[in-house]
Amino acid sequence: MRRVGMFVATNLAVLIVLGIVMTFLEPWLVSQGIDVHTATILIIALVFGMGGALVSLLLSKRMALMSTRARLITQPSNQVERWLVETVARQAREAGIGMPDVAIYDAPEPNAFATGASRNNALVAVSTGLLRHMGSNEVEAVLGHEVSHVANGDMVTLTLIQGVLNTLVLLLSRVLGQIVDRVVFRSERGYGPGYFISVIVLQILLGILASMIVMAFSRWREFRADAGGARLAGRNNMIAALERLKKASGPAQLPESVEAFGIRGRVGSGFRRLMMSHPPLDERIRALHDGAR
């Protein structure tokens, strides 16, 4: 709950600081004929920026289960399910977190993901393809990677960053949209066609920049989760698991809502790389080798 509190406090701080700035700027803007409705913009940013991200965090487990059609292991029905639950329980104790829910979803590709609203209310899910194509030592490393995501609070932190950036995008696009409409398009009210065109264009441009920032953090946390998986299951096992993932054919097929939380995601080069949630597997393997030196 501490990270959720940080999320709310950070977004409120952003709104308060920008509100103070706009309060000082407003007299000058009005003198120039620019009437910016600060309170309305702040409310919009608060509701859609912070509120939307917070709702997505609170519903993350349910949405992940629905989108992947994963089955929770409430009572292990075979040796494999029993081993999965016992392994996650042991790693959770070592990581100092509450026992996550454990689930299996049907997919041919080897993959796994973790999500949840807090360190003590999380979900770790593995694909049938992962269990089919990996040895137990490699699966253990993958589970350690996902448990490390939970222990590091990555889901909450990623949502915090996204919420702050959403708030800034919504706020700045509307403030700048009114200014452009009054100064460039000479609209008397600031809500003419120029405003709506400017807001749409600015939200797209600022949204792309915000996504780059979010994805940069997402790539960084993958390295950290790999290091955590190495601590919980052994460095050689973590490297072996990533090497096995390299042999998987085709792109990762997780639903977009949980793709950033999978152990394997889409990668690209050039500009596309800036929008990728995961670094190349070769770089992750090299980082583990470098950490052992």
Task: Give the pLDDT score at 182.
Answer: 81
Q: How many Å apart are CA 202 and CA 259, to the nearest integer?
A: 26
Task: Work out the pLDDT band at 256, boundaries 50, 70, 90.
Answer: low
- 76: Cβ contacts below 8 Å, ≥ 6 apart: 82, 84, 85
SS3 category, 189: coil
* Cβ-contact 226, 286 below 8 angstroms: no
Task: Write the pLDDT tens digit of every residue in 117-165.
Answer: 889 999 999 999 999 999 999 999 999 999 999 999 988 888 888 888 8
pLDDT tens-digit profile of 33-92? 666 666 677 777 777 777 777 788 888 888 888 888 999 999 999 999 999 999 999 999
Long-range contacts of 203-210 (CB under 8 A, 24+ apart): 203/169, 203/170, 203/173, 206/168, 206/169, 206/172, 206/173, 207/169, 210/162, 210/165, 210/166, 210/168, 210/169
Pairing state of beta strands 121-127 and 112-118?
antiparallel
Q: Distance (Å, rounded) from C-alpha 260 to C-alpha 162?
A: 13
Tell whether the model's pLDDT for residue 252 goes beyond 70.
no
- What confidence tens digit (pLDDT) does each residue in 270-290 have? 667 788 888 999 999 999 999
Burial of 48 (0-12, 13-18, 19+ CB in 10 A): middle
**By three-state DSSP, how is residue 122 classified?**
strand
Dihedrals φ, ψ of 43, to 5°? -65, -45
Active site residues: 146
Assess whether pLDDT exceeds 80 at residue 191: no
pLDDT at 195: 81
Confidence of residue 176 (pLDDT cuts 50, 70, 90): confident
The pTM of this model reads 0.82
Where is pLDDT greater, at 123 or 169?
123
Domain coordinates in residue numbering, the chain = 1-67+150-293
Sorting pLDDT into bands at 50, 70 and 90, what band is 11?
low
Across all residues in the chain, what is the average pLDDT? 83
pLDDT for the residue numbered 63: 87
Place of tokens 């289960």: 65
**178/135: higher pLDDT:** 135
Q: How many CA atoms lie within 13 A of 27 on its CB side?
A: 2
